[in-house]
Amino acid sequence: YTIAIGNAGTNAATYTIYPKLSFTPDSFAPIAVVAKTFGIVALRKDFPARDLKDFIDYAKKNPGKVNLGHAGVGSSNYLICKSFVHAAGIDVQLVGYRGAALALTDAIGSQIDGVCDAAASVSQAIDDKLVKAVVVGSTVRLASLPELPTSSEAGLPEFEAQGWNGLFAPKGTPPEIIARLNAAARTAVASDAVKKRFADLSTVAPDADELAPEVLQQLVARDVAKYRALLADDKK
């Protein structure tokens, strides 16, 4: 069997961004959510803003002049950017890169003003003070970045960027195979090694009741609708 790992970008928003795809959500059989991720907006360390409010004020006073990097149209980082810009009501340039690492490197080097990225990718650079984070799109603070305010604490509760990674099999995979793969996923995310690695990456393992295939199916359906609405302007 061919098993895929996907997220809201690859398995939900993609149907709006690329409407002529040869596959649909029904082409995949959900196995399990295996990780919960958190989107962060981080700025170059010399950007003239102390916090999220300052950044939004600056962007509103300088429409179209601020730029934020992401890992390419359709990536989960792109969705973090779109969600943030929509919630903040600001006009900024979104700059696509061929991967999150390249965008972060340019933010560290002050070639761009900031990045939208998953905590797993950007938390080390924040710890090392190579960039300064202004918000995490979560309802709770991250244990690995306890000083970073949530969107509500920072004054932008509309910004929500809690993502997921899920395992998928091809449509028509026998139920007993899905059950075996789901059991393996449950064992993996409960292991000490995975828990430690997730903690290092500012990622959270799903709760036991979130590991059912049906939960992943519901997340896909929810996010297809969510990003169809969010990305509507992109298609005009």
Rounded CA-CA distance 199/213 in Å is 24
As a whole number, mean pLDDT of residues 48-62 equals 97
- Is 233's pLDDT higher than 90? no
- Considering the chain, what percentage of its residues have pLDDT values greater than 90? 93
What pLDDT, on a 0 to 100 scale, did the predictor assign at position 232?
80
What is the token pair recorded at 197? 């690695």
Residue 175 CB: number of other CB atoms within 10 A?
9
Residue 162 CB: number of other CB atoms within 10 A?
16
pLDDT band at 235 (very low <50, low <70, confident <90, very high): low
- Considering the chain, what percentage of its residues have pLDDT values greater than 70? 98
- Looking at residue 145, what DSSP letter applies? B
**Three-state secondary-structure class, residue 130:** coil
What is the token pair recorded at 28? 């995949």
Task: Spell out the domains of the chain, with CATH numbers in brackets.
Answer: 4-34+163-235 (3.40.190.150), 37-136 (3.40.190.10)
H or E, element range at 69: strand 67-70
Rounded CA-CA distance 64/51 in Å is 19
Nearest alpha carbon to residue 170 among 33, 27, 32, 31: 27
Segment 130-171, tens digit of pLDDT: 999 999 999 999 988 999 999 999 999 999 999 999 999 999
pTM for this one? 0.88
Q: CA angle 226-228-229, nearest 5°?
A: 70
Q: How far is CA 206 from the centre of its chain?
A: 15
- Is 236's pLDDT higher than 70? no
The rounded mean pLDDT for the chain is 95
pLDDT band at 234 (very low <50, low <70, confident <90, very high): low
Segment 68-119, tens digit of pLDDT: 999 999 899 999 999 999 999 999 999 999 999 999 999 999 999 999 999 9
Segment 3-29, tens digit of pLDDT: 999 999 999 999 999 989 999 999 999
What is the token pair recorded at 79? 């969705």
Phi, psi of 218 (to 5 degrees): -65, -40
As a whole number, mean pLDDT of residues 57-77 equals 96
